Amino acid sequence: MLKLPPISLYIHIPWCIKKCGYCDFYSYVSKKSIPEIKYIQHLLKDLEKDLKLINKRKISNIFIGGGTPSLLHHESIKYLIKGIKKRTKIYQSSEITIESNPKLKEYKRFRKYKKSGINRFSLGIQTFNSNLLKKIERTYDKKEAIKAIKEIKKINNNFNIDIMYGLPGQSLNNVLSDLKYTVQHNPTHISWYQFTIEPNTSFYKKKLDLPDENILFNMFNKGEKFLKKSGYIKYEISSYMKLNYQCRHNMNYWNFGDYIGIGCGAHGKITKKNGDIIRTTKNKNINSFINGKYLDTKKIILEKDKPFEYFMNTFRLYQPIYKKHFQERTNMNIRDIKSKINKALQKKYIIENEKYWETTKNGKMFLNSLIKIFLN
């Protein structure tokens, strides 16, 4: 009998004060007031439809992302969480995360968010350098960023800081200074990743003073050594934690677990009892969404594409990938991927024993090449 994976819930709040030039996430800059309650009512209706697909499984964790979820009033967050709990069962130990911006108007809400059920905050700082913040079109400065962290620390131990390297005009000293400031505030989790520019962003057409590959490599090496020395454990390509403080929602993604995705532009993955894995995407048009048109696409992952989908996630993690886990999550036999595994072994991207595979240092360095082996 197929063992269904754990299932979490992702909620997309699409509004932002301003669209940053490097951001390619779906977001909507509203010049009018946000129809918070109306949107949440439709989020809950969207959830009701997806709950029919999950075979009464309990929700393990909740992640409220965006956009900028911290633009919502605490009454709206309370209404949302209360509405979810009315419609489905959630584990008592669930981690409920909200992404937040370090703006005064927003961080003053954190205490009331906590009372509404939020127990983990993720702060999008990006850099503590006010000049660099202006360059990447963020709407706050260093002082506000530090105040926001202090506000969170008063009410909640468990929080993440997002920080980037490779920003336009950024030096190695800037990078190390950012990490020192980050570690100084003792977050339980740090997301530290390279600044990249996607084709569908406004920065893509601009000539930006980006560090070259050698400088980026140096930033990465020095930064990673500093985080390790500071007591942070790297457990995923761009994620560092204090012991036992992995982001549970993201761990579920990377372990090829299931998740319901509700809200404009949200993605979901749901495994059915018969072994079919369904991918869903939700309507990106805000007006259509609040008129009841939630689903954009719903498709079954083809059998030949399952290994790529599985390893695209699991190879990101710094842990063994158990063969039994692959079989449980894909409903496939190891024989089906033997030739591709052999190719990855020949390239020395992975090692193998009777029970598991594990990526080598070389495999992590050339992760895209490793994953492409499993692309059909």
pLDDT in tens, 222-245: 999 999 999 999 999 999 999 999
Radius of gyration over every alpha carbon of the chain, rounded to an integer in angstroms? 21
Report the 10 Å Cβ neighbour count for 305: 15
Within a domain: 283: no
Tell me: do 156 and 24 sit in the same domain: yes
Tokens, residue 333: 């036999």
Provide the whole-model pTM: 0.95
Tell me: do 236 and 357 sit in the same domain: no
Query: Which residues lie below 8 Å from residue 319, measured CB to CB, with a gap of 6+?
Result: 235, 358
Percent of the chain topping pLDDT 70: 98
CA separation for the pair 69, 101 (Å, rounded):
9
Q: Which helix (H) or strand (E) holds 149?
A: helix 142-155
CA separation for the pair 18, 305 (Å, rounded):
37
Pick from 70, 167, 186: which is nearest to 128 by CA? 167
Tokens, residue 272: 């059915």
- At 338, which amino acid appears? K
CA separation for the pair 123, 293 (Å, rounded):
31
CA distances in angstroms from 145 to 102, 159, 163, listed in the order given: 5, 14, 12
Within a domain: 205: yes
**Contact in structure between 167 and 136 (CB atoms under 8 Å):** yes
Within a domain: 165: yes
Tokens, residue 62: 């909740």
Within a domain: 248: yes
Range of the domain at 78: 7-252
The answer, yes or no, to whether the previous bond of 67 is cis (omega within 30 of 0) is yes
Within a domain: 271: no
End residue of a domain, out of 199, 234, 252:
252
Question: Residue 168 is part of a domain; what is its CATH number?
Answer: 3.20.20.70
Tell me: do 81 and 207 sit in the same domain: yes
Per residue in 281-330, pLDDT (tens digit) is 999 999 999 999 999 999 999 999 999 999 999 999 999 999 999 999 99
